[in-house]
Amino acid sequence: MYKYFTELVDFVGSKPKTFIDTKKYISTGALKTDFISEDDIEIVDYISRPSRANLVVNSGDILFAKMAYTDKRLLVNDVEASHIYSTGFFAVKPKDGILTAKCLYYLLSSETFKNQKDANSTGATQKAITIEGLKKIKLRVPEYNKQDRIGSVLENIERIIKYKQQQLSEYDQLIKSRFVEMFGNPIKNDKEWKLKFLDEVCDVRDGTHDSPKYYNVGYPLITSKNISNGNIDYSTAQLICEEDYQNINKRSKVDNGDILMPMIGTVGGAIIVRKERDFAIKNVALIKFNTKLVENTFIKYVLNSDQMNLHFEDLKKGGTQKFIGLKTIRNLPIIVPPIKLQSQFATFVQQVDKLKFEVLKLLRELR
């Protein structure tokens, strides 16, 4: 059975009445996919609350973000019903006898719903879905008497996914702990290793500073914003022509095994390149390895260490768009332990990465 989304739900929620005490305000940014981040909760009072803090809901209501290209939803419990929410959310309840709350919750996370939501969102700077857009979304609804069973299966899958995501986080923490155990604090150098500047042990460059013309087809131009979560996101990159690609690569050709590190905005987050396609870079640090003094895996974890990230914060310049210059990166102090010890660490990382690969493979299958 197929039905339009607006035939399946009632829109609920209301504006807050005057309240004397303070309340917890949940913005769209405070909702991380399907849970509220305690670190992002704001405490507000009735008079000085943000204008968007204008939605109250009840236990059992379901919230989902209006903005496109995001999957944020919440089945409100008794405690969460006492908060005040952003008007960047819709609040809905399933219509009786058509849809259960659990089934509606999982429909909101389905690719079918998300794709239609994104396609029907409107707006110039930040696209979002409206009531009129929701009226165009059509979903296949299971038989009512089977929905609880389907919802329970999906709930179990989601529980496994969260467990596996926690495993990935623990693997990352294991590598960090092993790094500190073997090499200590790379900024304080508490193990008293040899110290050198980064450009003494590596070839440190950056990408073009020019702004080439963009095309509908061509080579991706990777900038800082295209590097996140340890990967290059080619889908968000602008495309440049063959001539510009060749000119940029005369100075900044990226090879397998090189390290790329964002220099603008969120500085850090170095990655080792495993090329899936040819690309050029702009305003990104490029670190190449032409000596036998350091391994790329070791340097990656030096640059991504908590201590180095704090050091980056002290080095950043600029106003609204913070950055670190190429000279500053070249002059970063780098500990240089024996290469044999670095290789032992790289082997350990490789072993953990194999475990992470199996977890990621399972996550892809579950989704």
Domain match, 223 and 279 both: yes
Does 218 fall in a domain?
Answer: yes
Residue 79 is part of which domain span?
Answer: 2-141
Q: Could you report the per-residue pLDDT of 221-271, keeping only the tens digit for each?
A: 999 888 887 889 888 889 999 999 999 999 899 999 999 999 887 777 899
Q: How far apart are CA 55 and CA 25, in angstroms?
A: 10
Does 201 fall in a domain?
Answer: yes
Q: Could you report the per-residue pLDDT of 346-361, keeping only the tens digit for each?
A: 999 999 999 988 888 8
Q: How far apart are CA 335 and CA 198, in angstroms?
A: 9
Domain match, 116 and 6 both: yes
Domain match, 199 and 327 both: yes
Does 189 fall in a domain?
Answer: no
- Strand-pairing partners, residue 32, are 35
Domain match, 200 and 331 both: yes
Whether 366 shows a pLDDT value over 60: the answer reads: no
Share of the chain above pLDDT 70, in %: 98
Domain match, 166 and 230 both: no
Cβ neighbours of 22 (radius 10 Å): 14
On the CB side of 281, CA atoms within 13 Å amount to 26
Domain match, 293 and 316 both: yes
